């Protein structure tokens, strides 16, 4: 089957499924492979559950004309996404960065969707599978697609750009994330900047945080750009008014009261405002979109439960985002503050050093109680209370309930520290 024929089949059945537990009627099932599974073995089950066709790459599983045989299912999914993207009129905004990608993507979508038909990456489906799936969500009436790109090693953003072929791009920041795969902070900067490299090589438009010296240096004299700044009047000025506990922003004399905790979310709001301005979204709509946005999925959520004011930021963590979260927690107005932080993953050889830096910083800030959880934090030298595992923490908290007050919960996804809510 040619790509043209497969695309015609996709237009007849425009829902893609890759998991037999989530099959929808008349979808196309792509039998992807992983380290511990072979999607080909589940193709018949997908058809039995209602899939219209199954795309496979092992001939032994082809037992009817409902199976479409190809050389490589993943490559075919990616090529289909490129084919579909090239036949769409939608403009593509891609964004990457070490921290804040998903929140920024959702804010941008909230703002731009006030004036345009948009689609955006679902959740954090931002890798070599998620980006193609996002592109295949583009409909005939889609005007703008906001595509999040994640990476944990060099050349990954470059590859994702070859699929999405963005018209616009934005990098949230360069931080200490995925140091193991990138080989250090310089590797992070180089890897994330592959988005800039693509955009400049193809004469496309760039949005930037003009208060970030690294971004300004990378872009140099490139002219197709628009930036925001708190102090440089060569760029669009946006004021940071404080956190109480939510971020307060001012644009063109208009104050925006967000529902986002932490100064680190200020630049995320600025990116959405900037793109709203570029795409001529009315200021009143930019304001209402950002004020209505509420973070979900354990990302800087502000919760109240049983006498606790909780900042739940347990979706992910790296040294940069961890330090920012601690700095913000210091600013919160509360009589009593308890900190529960868990291990940060994918730091490679720097793991011991980076965990010790955070442990020292937590000691310095003198919170009322500090609990460090995970094998890396367990090995640090600190005055905090340490637990090797979540189960050890849970056992302690059941016997010694936390005293009510403000509570920050933050750790990498694998720590799943949101489980603490069940204990309170």
- 46-66 pLDDT tens trace: 999 999 999 999 999 999 999
List the CATH code of the domain at 3-73. 3.40.1390.10
Share of the chain above pLDDT 90, in %: 78
Q: pLDDT per residue over 286-336, tens digit each?
A: 999 999 999 877 777 888 888 899 999 888 888 988 998 898 898 888 889
Task: Kindly tell me the burial class for residue 397, based on how many C-beta atoms sit within 10 Å of its own C-beta (0-12, 13-18, 19 or more).
Answer: middle
Instruction: Kindly state which CATH superfamily the domain 301-422 is placed in.
Output: Mur ligase, C-terminal domain (3.90.190.20)
Which pLDDT score, from 0 to 100, does residue 300 have? 76
Residue 367 has pLDDT above 90, yes or no: yes
CA distance 174 to 78: 27
Q: Where are the beta strands (DSSP E) in 118-222?
A: 118-120, 144-148, 168-171, 205-209
Give the closest residue to 278 by CA, choosing from 85, 123, 91. 91
Q: Which residue has the tokens 């913000």?
A: 328
What is the signed CA dihedral for 80, 86, 87, 93, rounded to 10 degrees? 110
Non-local CB neighbours of 215 within 8 Å, separated by 6+ positions: 171, 208, 209, 227
Of residues 16 and 187, more confidence is placed in 16
pLDDT digits (tens, 9 = 90+) for 233-292: 999 999 999 987 889 999 999 999 999 988 889 999 999 999 999 999 999 999 999 999
DSSP for 294-331?
---TTSSEEEEETTEEEEEE-S---HHHHHHHHHHHHH
The percentage of residues in the chain with a pLDDT greater than 70, rounded to a whole number, is 98
pLDDT of residue 160: 97
Query: In the prediction, which pLDDT does 177 show?
Result: 64
Q: What residues have CB less than 8 Å from 298, skipping those under 6 apart?
A: 312, 313, 314, 315, 418
Return the SS3 of 381.
Answer: coil
What's the rounded Cα separation, in Å, for the pair 95 and 160? 11
Instruction: Check pLDDT > 70 for residue 179.
Output: no
For the residues 209-227, what does the mean pLDDT come to?
93
Choose which CATH entry (3.20.20.140, 3.40.1190.10, 3.20.20.150, 1.25.40.850) describes domain 88-292: 3.40.1190.10
The residue ranges of DSSP E strands in 230-307, in sequence order, are 236-243, 246-251, 254-261, 301-305
Q: Tell whether the model's pLDDT for residue 183 goes beyond 90.
A: no
- Residue 395 makes CB contacts below 8 A (sequence gap 6+) with none
| Residues 198/96, Cβ–Cβ less than 8 Å | no
Tokens at residue 88, please? 């769409």
Residue 263: per-residue pLDDT: 87
3-state helix vs strand vs coil in the chain, percent to 5: 40, 25, 35
Whether residue 300 contacts residue 261, with contact meaning beta carbons closer than 8 Å, is answered with yes
- The whole-angstrom separation of Cα 195 and Cα 150 is 11
- In whole angstroms, give the CA distance from residue 51 to residue 24: 7
Alpha-carbon gap, residue 10 to 6, rounded angstroms: 6
Residue 310 and residue 295 in contact, taking contact as beta carbons nearer than 8 Å: no
> H-helix or E-strand containing 374?
none
The residue assigned the tokens 């307060």 is 248
Residues with Cβ within 8 Å of 288's Cβ and at least 6 positions away in sequence, in order, are 114
Total residue count of the chain as it appears in this document? 424
Where are the domains positioned within the chain? Answer: 3-73, 88-292, 301-422
| CA–CA distance, 362 with 356 (Å, rounded to integer) | 10
Run of H or E residues at 201: helix 194-201
Total-model pTM? 0.85
Quote the tokens at residue 304: 């109240």
Q: What is the pLDDT of residue 206?
A: 97
**pLDDT at res. 92:** 98
102-150, pLDDT tens digit by residue? 999 999 999 999 999 999 999 878 999 999 999 999 999 999 999 999 9
Q: What is the mean pLDDT of the chain?
A: 93
User: Using one digit for the tens of pLDDT, what is the confidence trace for 391-402?
Assistant: 999 999 999 999
Residue 142: how many CB atoms within 10 A of its CB?
A: 16
């Amino acid at each position: 089957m040619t790509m043209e024929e497969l695309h015609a089949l996709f237009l007849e059945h425009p829902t893609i499924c890759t998991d037999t537990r989530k099959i929808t009627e008349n979808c196309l099932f792509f039998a992807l492979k992983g380290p511990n599974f072979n999607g080909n073995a589940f193709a018949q089950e997908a058809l039995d559950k209602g899939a219209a066709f199954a795309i496979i790459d092992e001939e032994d599983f082809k037992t009817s004309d409902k199976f479409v045989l190809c050389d490589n299912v993943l490559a075919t999914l990616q090529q289909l996404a490129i084919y579909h993207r090239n036949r769409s009129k939608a403009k593509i905004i891609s964004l990457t960065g070490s921290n804040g990608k998903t929140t920024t993507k959702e804010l941008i979508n909230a703002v731009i969707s006030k004036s345009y038909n948009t689609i955006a990456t679902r959740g954090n489906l931002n890798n070599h599978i998620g980006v193609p799936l996002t592109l295949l969500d583009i409909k005939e009436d889609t005007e703008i697609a906001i595509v999040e790109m994640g990476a944990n090693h060099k050349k990954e953003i470059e590859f994702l750009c070859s699929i999405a072929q963005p018209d616009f791009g934005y990098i949230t920041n360069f931080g200490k994330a995925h140091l193991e795969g990138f080989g250090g902070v310089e590797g992070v900067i180089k890897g994330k900047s592959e988005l800039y490299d693509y955009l400049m090589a193809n004469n496309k438009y760039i949005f930037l945080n003009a208060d970030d010296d690294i971004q300004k240096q990378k872009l140099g004299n490139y002219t197709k750009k628009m930036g925001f700044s708190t102090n440089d009047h060569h760029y669009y000025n946006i004021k940071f008014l404080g956190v109480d506990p939510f971020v307060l922003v001012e644009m063109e004399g208009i104050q925006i009261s967000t529902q986002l905790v932490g100064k680190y979310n200020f630049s995320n709001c600025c990116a959405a405002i900037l793109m709203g301005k570029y795409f001529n979204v009315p200021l009143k709509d930019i304001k209402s979109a950002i004020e209505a946005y509420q973070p979900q999925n354990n990302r800087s959520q502000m919760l109240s439960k049983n006498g606790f004011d909780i900042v739940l930021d347990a979706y992910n963590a790296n040294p940069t985002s961890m330090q920012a979260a601690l700095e913000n927690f210091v600013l919160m107005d509360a009589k009593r503050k308890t900190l529960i932080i868990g291990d940060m993953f994918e730091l490679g050889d720097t793991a011991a050093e980076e965990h010790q830096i955070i442990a020292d910083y937590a000691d310095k800030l003198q919170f009322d109680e500090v609990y460090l959880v995970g094998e890396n934090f367990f090995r640090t030298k600190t005055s905090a209370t340490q637990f090797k595992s979540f189960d050890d923490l849970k056992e302690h908290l059941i016997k010694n309930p936390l005293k009510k007050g403000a509570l920050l919960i933050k750790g990498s996804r694998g720590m799943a520290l949101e489980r603490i809510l069940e204990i309170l």
